[in-house]
Every structure is written in structure tokens, then in C-alpha cells.
Structure 1
Amino acid sequence: KLTGKNGKDFFAAHHAEIYPDKMILDEGGSTSRCPAVKHPKCLEIKAKTFEIYPHDKMVARDVKVFVRGKHIYSRDYWENSLTEKSKERILPHIGFKDSDKGTYVNLSYERPLGDKDTIYADLNYYSKVGYKPVYGLEHNERNFKVTYENGWYEDDDEWVEKQNNIRFDYKNHHIAPGLPLSYSAYFERGLWKNDDSGRKSWHTEYGAFLNHDRIYLFNSKNTSLDLTIGKKWTRESAEDTLQSTNVYYATLGQKISPHWNTWVGYYREDFTTDVFTYDQPDMAKELRNGLQYIMDDKNSFTIVNRYDLDQKENYETRYSWTHKFCCWQLSLIYKHRDTNDKDSAFEAKFDFVNW
């Protein structure tokens, strides 16, 4: 009857063979990051055999994944790194959204292919629109990141399928030592499709940004100002168009007390494509303010209000409450759309946060 711990991972087994370089759990075993003892583990992985190589990796065969004691997923083989650099991750998410999504179940999977490469999948099923998966490969360097993706994305009830989508992100870098200015850039290209509208286009998008380091006002860490300017370009093969926009972001934050935070932000960005509304700004000039109350280490409540400066009217108010449990959190979100009450929506999310 064995129990043990490696970093955040708990292990348990009936029997083990111990060797100089490894330990084999040969009569079944389990691993979890959940510390619960009064109820079934929030997320637990059981296997017929485990091979544990300390500070290196763990190999499991005939694997079953359990959520609160309920079997939800099986696989023949699972290998997980025990180093902090590289870990395989399996994360389930469950939720409901009052829109064309309905109830949804998501299983997120990541597997490192070395120090710089990772394959991942978001396996999404929605009660109203069916199976909408995303598959990707990410290559991560010190100065840049390259991502290749195929899959479905949604924004404001528009579903877009990205095919052979490649994105290059140049990470934020300071211009010169001692100068509080940094720059970043990105380039993205892929074949985008919207089956509802029948629109299909090779979507090319790129942009560059100049950021100022966070500014602390009044000699206090409690008051901060973040500033960003930039420019974006979008080309669509469907209409043979190239459109651009200037980008301005400014956010002023204030920590009122250990329990209260507030902020106000100004955002300016125009539409850069008439082919898709996906990933486009809701308004060209937006004033956004928020207030957060942190009740305790488990509960928080947030209100975010969005105001359309061009139309001079309130666009949306979002209310959200989050409760954290031992390994997961429950979020309840209500979005009231002032400009069109039919677009108001409720969402409930159940997410694991400890894996």
C-alpha cells in the first residue's frame, strides 16, 4: 500500500517494484493533483501499470480518467514528463452558454515534443452546433513563436473554420536598455470559411505594436497606467481588398484596497475586413470601466461596462461571479447587451484550474 508525491502530483498504488532508476506500479495505481480526502478526487488518472522515472517521466498503460469518481475518458498509453519544462496535460471543461452554442463539453490536450514544440487539441462538442475541434502545433523560441492550426472558432455567434492557418508572433522586446518602450508584431494567414454565410477567403493579417512599460502614478504601486499604439492590416482574397487601422489602447488601474480593484480603459480600432465579423472590434471607439470585489480566497465578483463613444450609448454590461473549489472553479456570467436585448446572454462554466 504505497503513497507518494512528486511536486504537485500525488501517487497511490497497492504494490510496487523498486529499481535503482525507476519504480513500477504493477498492480494498478492512480495519480492526481487533487488534495481532497473527504470526497472523490476532482480529477484522477488510474492505470493498470505505471512506470515512474524520478525527476524525468511517468509512463502509464491502460489508462482511465475520472472526474469526481465518474469515468469519462480512456486511452491505451500515456506518457507524462515530471520536469517543470515539459508536461502532458489533459483538462476537461463543461459549461452552458445562452446562445447558439448551448451546453458544451471541452477536453483540452497538450503534449510536448521536446523543449520547443508542442502539439495540442481542443475537442469541443456543443449541443446546438455539434463537434467543433481545434488541432494545432506550436514551436516556441526565445524571440518568437510559430503556430499551425486547423479548427473552428466562434465570436459573437459567427463560426469560422480556419484551415492551414499559420501564425507568427514576434514576442515583446525592449528597444534599448533603460528605455521604457518595447515592440511586438504578428503575421497570420489561413483559409477561413463560414458555412452559414458561404463566405470563404484566404485571410492574411499582420500588425505591429509599440508598448510603454507600466507607469506607476503618484509614487504608488496601487495606481498604474498601460499604453499601447499600433497598426493592423488585413487582406481578403474573396474581395481582393487590403484594409488597415490604427490601434490605441490605454488602461488606468487602481487598487482601492485588498478587496477592491477598479479600472477604466480607452480602446480605438476600426474594422479591417467586410468578409468576416469574427475577431473584429464591436465598436471603433470604446470606453470600458470595471469594478472587482474579491470577497475571500474563493469568491470574486466583477462588473465590466462598455460604452460606445461614437454612438454615445452604453453597449454592454457584464456581470460575473467566480467560486474556486479545491481543483476547479465555477463561473457564472451574465452579459446584458444594451443596444439589443436579444443579444443578452447567460453563461456558466466549470473549469479545472489545478492541472
Structure 2
Amino acid sequence: MPTDTAAPEESPDTAAPHLADGAKTAPPERPRTAIDRGVTDYLQHMGVERGLAANTLSAYRRDLARYSAYLAGQGLSSPADITRHHVTGFAQALSDGADGGTPLGVRSAARTVVAVRGLHRFWALEGTTTADPASDVHPPMPGKRLPKAITVEEVTRILEAAGTDTATGLRDRALLEFLYSTGARISEAVGLDVDDLSVQAAESGPAIVRLFGKGSKERLVPLGSFAARALDAYLVRGRPLLAGKGKGTPALFLNARGGRISRQSAWTILKAAADKANITKDVSPHTLRHSFATHLLEGGADVRVVQELLGHASVTTTQVYTLVTADTLREVYAAAHPRALG
């Protein structure tokens, strides 16, 4: 077990302000209990042995501080005294604020329950307790968030607003055309090297690009003719000028200094094009990926083909896009079915 010197800067039982993710007012300080010490041990384990990021560790600290306070309010001081009833009671208190804390949304409550489950699993494995009362207490399931997509007309306006006949302008147009044409994640696009492109003759079909997704999983994705032309213009008239300012990087998309473009720069490029096109919706590089999938499905593409193009490990992940097209399905049904409208 890590030593006390590796503990977080604030222990969960004394850091009253950290109850703000749940508490309306900071409670008075209370004596440390065996539960508090057990929470500190768990945070040390997560921070030192598991290497949790500072922000994540801070969130765990706040969540478990609220849990410790709740248990103290129930008159508990030892981990061995905690039962499933106490865990489920705390989970309910997260939603309704019965513990005196601010009621949390589904996602925040789910995160807190996950932290509590991890704490009890740790105690059971370490022998602090003989059982795990949280093993079958599951976090609340957040509702599915439908991917945000924009219309084909809006995408077209953004793409046509992007770029000028300068090196960086040609790059901007090529980058955005590429994102929409392939459905690539922004990390995949900025990580591309020139050699990842395979430009083929027109008679043999569209160009092919090699993408490396999560876990470095490789997939091949066709490149539409609009994107291929934009990339060709950039490679011939734009990239050489940018590359001349750098140190010979193999990156496909370069910044003004000749180095690999960053994800933040790609976001700025898209934002500028959206503003120029008078698109008032919140648009990000991932919006083009969502729009790519939605427009393919609306055009009749099979969901498993879209799964392959997006690089999803499971078709279940891709099927969320079918919910986006429900409005289109209703419109087609209403227009085509003889007894749809009375």
C-alpha cells in the first residue's frame, strides 16, 4: 500500500469544499473514521498504483467525500458496517438530494456510483471487508444522446466557404472535404501521413485512404471525388509551400510552420468556415463524422457498411445513427403509404 506521503493533497474527510459536487453548504468538520481512512487508502491506490489523472482523481475525491459524509450521517464509522441498503440509499440521495446535497443529473450520479463501486471492490480485495455490498448496485443509465448532424446543404455551404487559393486555404478545404468524405475522427485525420493515401486512376474506382482508429486498428476507406480533387490541389499547390517551412515531416496536413497540424487547429479551421457560411449551429469536427454516417444511412447505405467505414467495433454503436433518420422515415412513409394520412 502506498505511504501517506503519496496521498492526495486533501483527504476526503477534511476537504469540505469538495462536497460541492453534492453539498449545498460545507458541513462542519467531523472526526476521522475508519471509513475515511479506507477512502484515503483507495485514493492513494488509484493515484499511485493505477496512475489516475489528476482531474479524474479529483472527481473521485469529491464523489467519495459525499459518500463518507452520507455514511457518517447514517451513524456508520467502519467499512464492515456498510450494507447494500446503505449503498442504494446513497444512490437515491444523489438523485433527490436527501443527504442535504445538490441533486445530480443522471451522468454525474452514475459517475459517483461507479466511484463507490470501485471503493467497495478495493476494500473487499484488500481484506478490509469480507463482502462487497455494492457489487450488484448499478449506476443509473443515461439516455442515449443522439449524434448531432447537420444537413447536406449546411455541409455543402461549410465546404464551399472553406479555403482560398493560398497554401493554407487549399489545406483547409482539403481537410474539411476529407473529414466529411471519409467520416474520419479528427485524431485520425491529423495523424495521417502522405503515404497513407492511395490515389487510383478514375477507371479503377475512387481513391482509398488508410486510417488508424482506436487501438491502432487499421481500416481502408474510399475517398469521394470532391475530396480527392481538393487533396490533389493541396498536394500540388499547397503542401509543398508549407513543407518548405518545416523539417520534412511526412504528415499530410501541415500547419503554417511546416509541422503536423493539431486537433485544435482543425477545430479552428472548421469554426471559421462555419462562421463564413453563416451556420449558427454548434459545429465541431465530430459533427462532420456524424453527418457522414447520417447522410449515408439516409441515402440507403447498409448499417454494417457504415459500421465498417466508421471503424466501430460493434454494429450496436453504429445503430444509434438509425435513430437520427427517424424523421426522414416518417416523412417518406407519410408521402408514400396509401393509408398513412386520413
TM-score, normalised to structure 1, is 0.25
Structure with more relative contact order (C-alpha pairs < 8 Å, separation 6 or more): 2
Higher helix share: 2
Higher Cα radius of gyration: 2
Greater per-residue strand proportion: 1
